[in-house]
Chains A and B, each alone.
Chain A
Amino acid sequence: MLFATLLFCSPLFTIRQINAQSNSMDTIVGTPQGNIPSGFTTNDCNGTYNLTSQSLDSTKFFPRYAPGNFGDQNCEFTRNNFAQAKNNLYNLIHQLDPGYEYIWFSVIIPQESGYDPNAWAPPVGTQAQLNGSGAWGLLQMGSSKNGNGQFDRGDVNWNTQMQNAITYNNNLNTGNYGGWCPPINSYCPSNQPVTWCYWATARNYVCRKK
Chain B
Amino acid sequence: MNLKIFLSMIVLIVGITIVGLLILFFPRNTNNTSLPYFSNSTPTPINQVTPPQTSMFHDIIKYDQQQTNKMINTLQNRPTIPPSDSTVKENIINTVANDSGTVNSTDEYHIDYLKSPDIFQVEIDTTNIQQAKSDAINWFKAQGMSMDSICKLPVTFYLKFDIMQELEQQGTTVDFNPLPDGC
Chain A positions within 8 Å of B, measured between CB atoms, are 1, 4-5, 8-9, 12-13, 15-16, 19-20, 23-24, 27-28, 30-32, 52-56, 58-59, 61-65, 67, 79, 82-84, 86-87, 90-91, 94, 101-103, 105-107, 110-116, 119, 121-123, 126-135, 140-142, 145-148, 152, 177-178, 180-182, 197-201, 204-205
Contact = CB atoms under 8 A, between A and B. Distances in A.
Interface string B145-183: 000000000001011111111100100000000100000
Contacts of A198: 52-53
Contact of B112 (A62, A86, A107, A113): A86
B69 A205 contact: yes
A83 B112 contact: yes
Given A4-B16, A56-B31, A87-B114, A114 B159 contact: yes
Contacts, number: 216
Contacts of A53: 34-36
A180 B20 contact: no
Interface of B: 9, 12-13, 16-17, 20-21, 23-24, 28, 30-31, 33-58, 61, 63, 65, 68-69, 71-72, 75-76, 96, 99-102, 110, 112-117, 119, 121, 123, 156, 158-166, 169, 178
Given A52-B35, A86-B100, A178-B49, A128 B42 contact: yes
B162 to A, nearest CB: 7
B164 A31 contact: no
Nearest to B160: A114
A23 B112 CA distance: 42
B52 A113 contact: no
Given A58-B39, A131-B44, 6 more contacts: A56-B36, A83-B101, A90-B116, A91-B116, A145-B43, A205-B69
Nearest to A99: B76
16 contacts: A4-B16, A9-B20, A27-B35, A31-B41, A58-B38, A58-B41, A59-B40, A63-B165, A63-B169, A86-B100, A105-B117, A111-B57, A114-B159, A145-B43, A152-B50, A200-B58
B102 to A, nearest CB: 6
Contact of A82 (B37, B41, B102, B116): B102
Nearest to B34: A52
A134 B17 CA distance: 42
B37 A13 contact: no
Contact of A8 (B16, B23, B58): B16
Contacts of A30: 37-38, 41
Contacts of A24: 35
Given A83-B101, A132-B42, A116 B161 contact: yes
B47 to A, nearest CB: 6
Among A9, A52, A114, chain B packs the most CB atoms within 10 A around the CB of A114
A69 B96 CA distance: 29
A90 B117 contact: yes
